[in-house]
Amino acid sequence: METSNDRLFEGFPPVSPSEWEAKIQEDLKGADYEKKLIWKTPEGFRVKPYYTADDQKTLHYLQHDTGTFPFVRGDKTDGNAWEIRQDFRVTDIDTAVAKASIALQGGVGAIGFDLSAQAGLQYDEFKKLMSGIDFGSTSLHLITGEAGSGLLDYLIQFLDESGLPVPTGSLGFDPMAQLLCTGAFFNSEEADFSVLDKVLLSAGNELPGFRVLPIGSQHFGNAGASAVQELAYGLAIAAEYLTRLTATGHAPADVARHIQWNLGVGSSYFIEIAKVRAARLLFSHMLTAYGEKPETAVFIHSITTTWNKTLFDPHVNMLRLTTEAMAAVLGGCNSLLVNPFDSVFREPGDFSERIARNTQVILKEESYFDKVNDPSAGSYYIESLTDSLVEHAWKLFLQVSDEGGFVAAFKAGSIQKEVAETAGQRRQMLASRKEILLGTNQYPNSNEQAGNTWDPEIAFRTPGSAASQVAEPLSFGRAATDFERLRLAVEMHPGGSPSAFMLTYGHLAMRLARSQFSCNFFACAGYRVIDNLGFPSAAEGVKAALLARAEVVVVCSSDEEYMTLVPEIKNLIGDKALVVVAGAPACMDELKQQGISEFIHVRSNVLETLRAFSRKLGINI
């Protein structure tokens, strides 16, 4: 039978993969195909430069529609609606109530109250916090510390007294997240799972629309883990819940429907779309091992992660958050929290909170992202990424299972080790500019000063620890942290930020290209860069550099001119400034023999090179 696709493509003859390959090889003109066009992801799989319908022939889940097992296409059958959520850390009840009211008026449909710092919260305070929330149109989310069951009791009592409708939402009593972040449980492993057993029983009886078993896998993303690791370890937490709670008498289906997967969303746009889809597929297949074929997909609450957010040039974070929000929505998340752009280095204010929620409101109200369910379905690339994520995450999940499950593997340290290795590799990629973090290791704003706009307790926050540690916690820290510490040390140096003077000479194109490269290079550490169009002689260039009192003089010219030019400049400057050569000329070894040892080029480790320069200039790193 002829389909609409047949008619759509009838004017275009099919192109086989072999024909694509032949054309690519022709265009490469002998260059290495693997090096030029194959992307090796941090997740450990290869991404091809193109995909065809042939790549989908083995993807059996494609025959299933939205709303049907295994839910790779989600459980939405009428559009792509999601809950716009905003969370507030409760330090003052009146302030939290006011902020929630503003958010609800601004388009938010899900309110989260972080009560982890309110261990002694009284019932009257809780009632005041609930005032003004219409449970008929707003979902409620309570993020707790160790007082999880007590807050759930408060909510049940409040509903009984008020006669308000039973809300949907979630309880964030999360001993697994506590273990990840501190290496300890709230009380003990046995006691914490006993609380989970209690809240699950209460929710099943009193709050059927409340999810009380959080999978906090966003913490892995915040620690620099790969998408595969986040999926696999999140799935292992879900399996831990199922194994332990079914052993106390709960049915697998009851456990599953009370799980909320808090899935981080990071910077790799298409992989993040695929990650949401892969999470649903993985969860569905994992449940079949417990004899369940779920009727609905796992509830996925997407949260923007902190790994790629920056202190310097912070408004770029808004752009990052926008693309991350788009990825989560296109992947079909059920709810989404966009963190304020400045939340990684200070307490967010009214402006940043408004921008955070309006990012989602624009996607829904102006961009109509809620109109089409599973909009990425059928994309050869995204479907293939989804399959690759599932394959590699399932393999890693089985490894964790072989170690005795999530808690046992975390206690043994294998999970922390894997995440730390991935994060370390990603930091090395940034240090050498094999990966770019805009405004940090490439194209920084050289005139920017952090000043007192940031809070060190937030910007460089380290996870807490407890006396009852049973494991090492995850190592947290944003990707930009090392560059930021360097730049802040330069900015706060008692002698002021050093200046890097571009001594440009000779070949026009080369001197301009190398001066631009060098200005960008030194600005990454907050150096004041002084660019120049060109000098007629080395002597005049040195004279101008000394008049500018530059601490660093960067020679920018062509390779052919360096052999005579650089020694002359070095002799004229002496020890009055640090002489650096822009490029890696063929005469590098000969120049080194003459005492010229500093070179910067595209293969330099930007971070370590700038650290070394700064130490030579007396800056305490």
| pLDDT tens by residue, 351-362 | 999 999 999 999
Q: Tokens in use for 385?
A: 């990424």
Mean pLDDT, the chain, integer: 94
Over residues 153-186, the pLDDT tens digits come to 999 999 999 999 999 999 999 999 999 999 999 9
- Produce one character per residue of 99-126: b if its CB has 16 or more CB atoms within 10 Å, e if not: bbeebbeeebbbbbbbbbebeebeeeeb
Residue 428 lies in a domain: no
- Whether 552 and 606 share a structural domain: yes
Contacts of 586 (CB under 8 A, 6+ apart): 559
Residue 459 lies in a domain: no
In this model, does residue 5 exceed pLDDT 70?
no
- Whether 43 and 74 share a structural domain: no
In this model, does residue 47 exceed pLDDT 50?
yes
- Whether 502 and 387 share a structural domain: no
- Whether 214 and 357 share a structural domain: yes
- Whether 359 and 408 share a structural domain: yes
**What's the pLDDT score for residue 3?**
54
Beta bridge partners of 132: none
- Whether 135 and 178 share a structural domain: yes
**How many domains are there within the chain?**
3
**Amino acid (1-letter code) at residue 580:** V
Cα distance between residue 392 and residue 384, in whole Å: 12
Cα distance between residue 604 and residue 584, in whole Å: 10
**Mean pLDDT, residues 120-144 taken together:** 93
Cα distance between residue 544 and residue 540, in whole Å: 6
Question: Helix H segments across 17-64?
Answer: 17-28, 33-37
**Amino acid (1-letter code) at residue 492:** M
Higher pLDDT, 17 or 575: 575
Task: Give φ, ψ of 507 to 5 degrees.
Answer: -45, 120
- Select from 414, 444, 470 the last residue of a domain: 414
Using a 10 angstrom Cβ sphere, with 0-12 exposed, 13-18 middle and 19 or more buried, the burial of residue 430 is buried
**Amino acid (1-letter code) at residue 167:** P
**What's the pLDDT score for residue 1?**
44
**What's the pLDDT score for residue 553?**
98
**What's the pLDDT score for residue 40?**
86
Over residues 456-476, the pLDDT tens digits come to 999 998 766 667 899 999 999
Compute, in degrees rounded to 10, the torsion defined by CA atoms 166, 215, 152, 408: 150
Mean pLDDT is lowest, of 42-51, 65-74, 481-490, 566-575, for: 42-51
Centre a 10 Å sphere on the Cβ of residue 474 and count the other Cβ atoms it contains. 24
- Whether 80 and 36 share a structural domain: no
Residue 482 vs residues 401, 576, 611, 620: alpha-carbon distances, Å: 35, 29, 10, 14
Beta bridge partners of 552: 500, 578
Residue 419 lies in a domain: no
Residue 475 lies in a domain: no
**What's the pLDDT score for residue 30?**
87
Q: What's the pLDDT band for 6 if we cut at 50, 70, 90?
A: low
Cα distance between residue 464 and residue 180, in whole Å: 10
**Mean pLDDT, residues 36-53 taken together:** 87
CATH of the domain at 546: 3.40.50.280
- Whether 215 and 272 share a structural domain: yes
**What's the pLDDT score for residue 15?**
85
- Whether 45 and 124 share a structural domain: no
Q: What's the pLDDT band for 35 if we cut at 50, 70, 90?
A: confident
Beta bridge partners of 442: 438
Over residues 56-107, the pLDDT tens digits come to 888 888 888 898 999 999 989 899 999 999 999 999 999 999 999 999 999 9
Using a 10 angstrom Cβ sphere, with 0-12 exposed, 13-18 middle and 19 or more buried, the burial of residue 228 is buried
**What's the pLDDT score for residue 259?**
98
Q: Please write down the long-range contacts of 455-459, taking CB distance under 8 Å and 24 or more positions apart.
A: 455/345, 455/346, 455/347, 458/343, 458/344, 458/345, 458/346, 458/347, 459/311, 459/344, 459/345, 459/346, 459/484
Residue 484 lies in a domain: no
- Whether 499 and 530 share a structural domain: yes
Residue 152 lies in a domain: yes
- Select from 370, 387, 414 the last residue of a domain: 414
Strand order in the sheet with 578-582: 528-530, 499-504, 552-556, 578-582, 599-600
**Straight-line distance from the first to the last Cα atom of the chain, in angstroms, rounded to the nearest whole number:** 70
Contact 229, 216 (CB under 8 A): no
**Amino acid (1-letter code) at residue 107:** G
Cα distance between residue 469 and residue 234, in whole Å: 21
**What's the pLDDT score for residue 9?**
67
- Produce one character per residue of 47-85: b if its CB has 16 or more CB atoms within 10 Å, e if not: beeebeeebeeeeebeeeebbbbbbbbbbbeeebebbbb
Over residues 342-351, the pLDDT tens digits come to 999 999 999 9
Residue 426 lies in a domain: no
Q: Is the dihedral of CA 209, 210, 216, 222 positive or negative?
A: positive
- Select from 414, 433, 461 the last residue of a domain: 414
**Mean pLDDT, residues 315-331 taken together:** 98
Using a 10 angstrom Cβ sphere, with 0-12 exposed, 13-18 middle and 19 or more buried, the burial of residue 281 is buried
CATH of the domain at 350: 3.20.20.240
Over residues 407-449, the pLDDT tens digits come to 999 999 999 999 999 999 999 999 999 999 999 999 999 899 9
Residue 287 lies in a domain: yes
**What's the pLDDT score for residue 264?**
98
Q: Give the three-state DSSP class for 112.
A: strand
* Structural domain span for residue 594: 489-616
- Whether 554 and 408 share a structural domain: no
Cα distance between residue 284 and residue 301, in whole Å: 16
**What's the pLDDT score for residue 16?**
87
Centre a 10 Å sphere on the Cβ of residue 337 and count the other Cβ atoms it contains. 25
- Whether 507 and 372 share a structural domain: no
**Mean pLDDT, residues 189-216 taken together:** 95
